[in-house]
Amino acid sequence: MAACIHCGGDTRTRDHVPSKVLLDEPYPENLPVVPSCKSCNEAFSMDEEYVACLVECTLAGSVQADDIRRKKIRRILRSKPALAAKLIQARKMTDSGTSFAVDTDRVRNVVLKLGRGHAAFELNEPQYDEPHSVSFVPLVGMPSDTRDLFETSLQSSLWPEAGSRAMQRLAVVWPAVPGWILVQPGRYRYLASVGDGVVIRMVISEYLACEVVWA
């Protein structure tokens, strides 16, 4: 029985990486799954819904379900009035447009969860320790040189562990440098690298750029 990638406890359940709330139906085939105990799996679900709704409401500049492009997010906002109310309270209207006060702890929880999932599945490198850094920022808010660096493919200084997903990809594409792994166009992509440390980068809805680093 595999260990939960979040707490190391015993588990017979599985969790998708990325979380399905970040994707649209029909889902891509063969979505990555990782071991996750029921407690951890359930503990993240509300934060994942919050992040997914926050991103789409920010893109729409509205919390009204009818203004949201993604059907799944419209359904969540209509069925979760408490979440919709929280986002309404967080909305700020200014002369330059609409913005939202972000619950950074909840966003960090989700970004770290995704990072751990990709490290375990893609690199076969489960990360139970606290990361060196967790960051997330809108792509449009990045200076051009910072965005260019973020978008640059990461070349691992070490070969991934034998049998890992990343090692299988290297065997196929070597000597080319692996690039971003596209899970669903416009919804989710990520990079994974191992060397002096483990680095995972993710982009959610082509809006939120995220990075988790274990030094």
Question: Does this model's pTM top 0.75?
Answer: yes
| Angstrom distance (rounded) from CA 109 to CA 4 | 16
Give the per-residue pLDDT at 173: 42
Give the per-residue pLDDT at 175: 40
87: helix, strand or coil: helix
Q: What is the DSSP string of 199-210?
A: EEEEEETTTEEE
Residues 6 or more apart whose CB falls under 8 angstroms from that of 123 comprise: 160, 161, 164, 165, 166, 192, 194, 198
pLDDT tens sequence for the chain (215 residues): 589 999 999 887 899 999 999 999 999 998 999 999 999 989 999 999 999 999 999 999 999 999 999 999 999 999 999 999 999 999 998 887 889 999 999 999 999 999 999 999 999 999 999 999 999 999 999 999 999 999 987 655 444 454 555 444 444 443 434 479 999 999 999 999 988 899 999 999 999 999 999 99
Q: For residue 166, with 0-12 CB atoms within 10 Å meaning exposed, 13-18 middle and 19 or more buried, which class applies?
A: buried
Give the per-residue pLDDT at 201: 96
Give the per-residue pLDDT at 60: 95
